[in-house]
Amino acid sequence: MADTPASASGPRYRPYVPAQTDMREFTVRALIIGLVMCVILGAANAYLGLKAGMTIAATYPAAVIGMAVLRIMKGSILEENIARTVGSIGESVAAGAVFTIPALFIAGVWTDFASVSHYIQATLIMLAGGVLGIMFVALLRRVMVEDVELPFPESVAASEIHKAGRTGGTGAAYLFGAMGIGAVVQGLGQINLFRSAWQKWIAFAKTDIALRSSGTATGQSGMLLSSPSISPAFIGVGYIIGPKLASLNFAGGVVAWGLMVPIISYFIAPTLFPAGGAVPTVDQWVALANNVWFTIVRPIAIGGMLVSAAWTLFRMRNSLVAGIARSVGDVKKAAAGQSVTERTEEDIPFNWIMIGIGLAAVLTFFIYDYFTGNRVGAALVATLVLVIAGFFFAAVSGYLVGIIGSSNNPVSGLTLSTLVIAALLMVALGMTGQPGVAAVLGVAGVVCVSSAVGGEMLQDLKVGHILGGTPWKMQIGDLIGVAAAAAALFLPLVVLHQGDINAGHMAAVPYQGGFGGPTLPAPQASLMALLSQGIVGGHMAWPLIIVGAMLAIGMIMMQVRSPMLVFVGMYINLGTTFAIFVGGAIRGLVDWLGARRGHNAAQKARVENNGILLAAGLIAGEALIGLLFAALAFGHVDYGSFLTAHVSSALPLGFWFALLVLAFLAWLLIQVPLNNAGSPDEPAPPSAVM
């Protein structure tokens, strides 16, 4: 791919579009297409992050959509590059937002979520983090994108897709078709055409356990069996992450609901349902199981996530240290860099970068001053921590993206490190209670957005480096994209949160909805809230956290590939992890069938590309229609009972119909990619690395 030299005197890399070429690039239409994708893909990833605790990199879908739309307008490849750059940045802002902003509500800093004041605070946090991430990466772009030791796997894949799109199909039909299917399936489930879940309580007999000299303990419980959620998005997530990671995620659900909930309930139940009292009903047993999971198992999972995040960073210690050491040297090189005349080497001027960092730092100071109740010293310390940690972690995030891609970037782990440091400093300064918790979460929010944006920005800059894009135009485009995402993304959060609360009230079996609830668990935000409360506010269920930490240490000793995924699986609903597992199993079956058919490398790449486009479409379709129904619930529209009241009292259909829907989704993800594997003689397409 590259002619990048080992020394400055060697031959230079030649981009796809030469630097001397005068081609349409930063146009109004490319910017508008990018901004629309930025907000839509950002909102879709916010939905996914709150429900499943993970987001999907938007670089590939944004490239495909931008190419499809601009092809109709006869746009250039550099316009496609700008549209993709602006379009994909919304996902990183959304990741930073959903990992931290809901924590302000979960921790009790915000007693309600939807207000003008909270909109302003959240928007400023996202804006400050996004601007810092872009400015920090702009300092390091030239050195990092030209480093031959950083392969940038997702950037290379995206650039090859752009090149291939100039002569062949874009794959948009798969993406948009799957979006329609995902939207229809989710819509039918939301209006209760069919039962989208199945549960059954299996009771255990009451038994007495002799504890030798300690006496006798009476136990009684059971096990709650559940089906996978009929969710195109979760099945799509499982397909993308593959069978191994999907199995790890589901393993957490099995541990939670197959081991912890039954055994804890076994010894709790005799106290809650004493002998001689009324015989507990099935509904009471189910309620007990859900409450044990919510109040005991989930804090254990949070303890495990904390240790898992630390372990992830420890395993990356060499890369992290190298990234931090390089970032210091890279700034010196960038500051001393000579002026360039080639279009493909022009960044935002260094002076303007410094001004941007300074303005973002001043903005965050006023945010923290407000959070701390006008404690100027604490606000200054929080701002200092932010700038230092934000720079290093944005640089490290970019470095890790260069190695493993943005889909695998451990943003939440980097943010947790910042949160712990900020929390300890707040305690040292005497900041306790809610003001201290607010300041800590404010620092975490800005750093999380900065790290996510920094990684995504550098990934896009590498694509531009390969294609021949103009760096300063891409950076300006992302600044506009960050501003648009920051202004818009609080609204989907409000709609999802309040809509879920209203839906819980209107449900046939009412539940407590909103952030931290059963349908919007927001695992990373809950972890941030619990840690900040525990360290600064002094409120933490330490015994449960320690149990989770010990369990994580045991998994690390057993060399479990990703303990974090296991504990996320324990934290989120079993139906969610089960659906993700089904998606992973479908992907494994596709790979197995491809191998049996003797597919060569080119055919495997085509199957992989088509399958990932279908999965990404299912995710986007469900997320967007899910936002629509959340908006209806936000307006107190009881859509769940509409069919029963106005069409037929025989509805919803039984779970058998849901199984038919699941079978159709499996057929779609298996047959369509395999039937379009192409001829063995056709040249290999670029692989969709996600």
What is the 3-class SS of 164-189, one letter each residue? Answer: HHCCCCCCHHHHHHHHHHHHHHHHHH
CA distance 147 to 365: 35
Measuring CA to CA, which residue among 630, 548, 543, 686 is closest to residue 159? 686
Residues 6+ away with beta carbon under 8 Å from 409: 397, 400, 401, 451, 452, 455
Q: What is the pLDDT of residue 161?
A: 75
First-to-final CA distance of the chain: 20
DSSP H or E segment with residue 203:
strand 199-203
Measuring CA to CA, which residue among 161, 683, 149, 165 is closest to residue 463? 161
Number of domains in the chain: 1
Q: Is residue 317 part of a domain?
A: yes
Between vectors from CA 661 to CA 660 and to CA 663, what angle results, nearest 5°? 65
Alpha helix stretches (DSSP H) within 273-375 = 282-292, 298-315, 317-335, 350-371
* Dihedral (CA of 260, 263, 266, 271) sign: negative
Q: What is the pLDDT of residue 668?
A: 95
CA distance 233 to 404: 24
CA distance 473 to 487: 21
CA distance 528 to 544: 16
Q: Is residue 54 part of a domain?
A: yes
Strand partners, 210: 216
Cα distances from 319 to residues 57, 132, 315, 393, 667, in angstroms, run 21, 22, 9, 12, 41
Indicate the DSSP class of residue 277: S
Strand partners, 203: 222
CA distance 296 to 288: 11
State the number of CA atoms in the 13 A half-sphere of 573 facing the CB.
Answer: 22
CA distance 51 to 233: 10
Contact between 620 and 179 under an 8 Å Cβ cutoff? The reply is yes
| Ordered mean pLDDT values, 10 residues apiece, the chain (690 residues) | 40 75 91 93 87 75 86 90 92 86 91 91 93 87 72 74 69 83 90 85 85 82 90 88 89 94 89 77 89 86 80 70 60 56 79 90 89 82 82 72 62 71 78 82 87 87 90 94 94 92 85 86 84 76 86 93 84 88 95 92 86 85 83 78 70 87 95 88 60
Q: Is residue 139 part of a domain?
A: yes
Percent helix / strand / coil, the chain, rounded to 5:
70, 5, 25
Radius of gyration, alpha carbons of the chain: 25
Strand partners, 653: 194
Q: What is the pLDDT of residue 320?
A: 56
Contact between 87 and 58 under an 8 Å Cβ cutoff? The reply is yes
Query: Could you tell me the two tokens for 497?
Result: 């949160």
Q: Is residue 627 part of a domain?
A: no
Measuring CA to CA, which residue among 690, 64, 166, 147 is closest to residue 465? 147
CA distance 268 to 565: 28
Contact between 155 and 466 under an 8 Å Cβ cutoff? The reply is yes
Query: Could you tell me the two tokens for 181?
Result: 């299917």
Q: Is residue 111 part of a domain?
A: yes
> Cis link prior to 652 (omega < 30° from 0)?
yes
State the number of CA atoms in the 13 A half-sphere of 497 facing the CB.
Answer: 21
CA distance 161 to 323: 29
DSSP H or E segment with residue 213:
none
Measuring CA to CA, which residue among 423, 360, 343, 428 is closest to residue 394? 360
pTM: 0.77
Query: Could you tell me the two tokens for 511?
Result: 């539940």
Contact between 564 and 308 under an 8 Å Cβ cutoff? The reply is yes
CB count within 10 Å of CB 472 equals 18
Q: What is the pLDDT of residue 351?
A: 83
Measuring CA to CA, which residue among 484, 555, 637 is closest to residue 35? 484
Torsion of CA 140, 142, 148, 149, to 10 degrees: 0
CB count within 10 Å of CB 573 equals 24
CA distance 252 to 101: 25
CA distance 179 to 177: 5
CA distance 385 to 540: 24
Q: What is the pLDDT of residue 263?
A: 92
CA distance 294 to 611: 35
Buried b (16+ CB within 10 A) or exposed e, 171-208: bbebbbbbbebbbebbbbbbbbbbbbbbeeeeeeeeee
Torsion of CA 543, 549, 554, 556, to 10 degrees: 180
Contact between 618 and 236 under an 8 Å Cβ cutoff? The reply is yes
CA distance 340 to 382: 37
Q: 3-class DSSP state for residue 448? A: helix
Residue-range definition of the domain harbouring residue 322: 28-174+309-502
Contact between 348 and 388 under an 8 Å Cβ cutoff? The reply is no
Residues 6+ away with beta carbon under 8 Å from 389: 417, 418, 421, 443, 447
Q: Give burial (CB, 10 Å; 0-12/13-18/19+) of 476.
A: middle
Q: Is residue 222 part of a domain?
A: no
Backbone angles phi, psi at 207, to 5 degrees: -135, 155
Q: Is residue 122 part of a domain?
A: yes
Q: Is residue 191 part of a domain?
A: no
Alpha helix stretches (DSSP H) within 635-677 = 642-646, 655-675
Q: What is the pLDDT of residue 247?
A: 93
